Amino acid sequence: MTDMTHDRDREAALFLQLLLGLQQAAMVALGKLMNPVSGRIERNLEAARNTIDTLSALETRTRGNLGNDEQRVLTQVLTDLRMNYLDEMKKG
C-alpha cells in the first residue's frame, strides 16, 4: 500500500466518521437517542434542522469528489435524518 493510498483510505475513514458523528448529533436533537450529556431524551428540532442542512451542504460541496461508499453513506444518512425529521414535525 502506497502512502497516497493510505492517505486516501484514512481520509475516507475520517469523512465517514464525521458523517456518522453528525448523524448521531441530529438523532439526539430529534429525540431519537438519549443526550449523552444530560442522560435524557430531548428534542431540539432547530438544532436537528441545522445539522441536516450542514450535511446537505457537505453533499453539495463534495459532489463528484466522493468514493462510492462515501456517497452511499452520505445519501443514506440524509434520507434517514430527513424522514425522522418529518416524523417529529408531524408530532408537533
What pLDDT digit, counting tens, does each position of 23-76 carry?
A: 999 999 999 999 999 999 999 999 999 999 999 999 999 999 999 999 999 999
User: By C-alpha distance, which of 15, 35, 14 is closest to 24?
Assistant: 35
Q: Quick one: which of 1, 81, 2 has its CA closest to 48? A: 81
Are residues 22 and 51 in contact, defined by beta-carbon separation less than 8 angstroms? yes
Residue 1 is predicted with a pLDDT of 63
Burial (CB < 10 A; 0-12, 13-18, 19+), residue 50, is middle
27 and 43 in contact (C-beta within 8 Å)? no
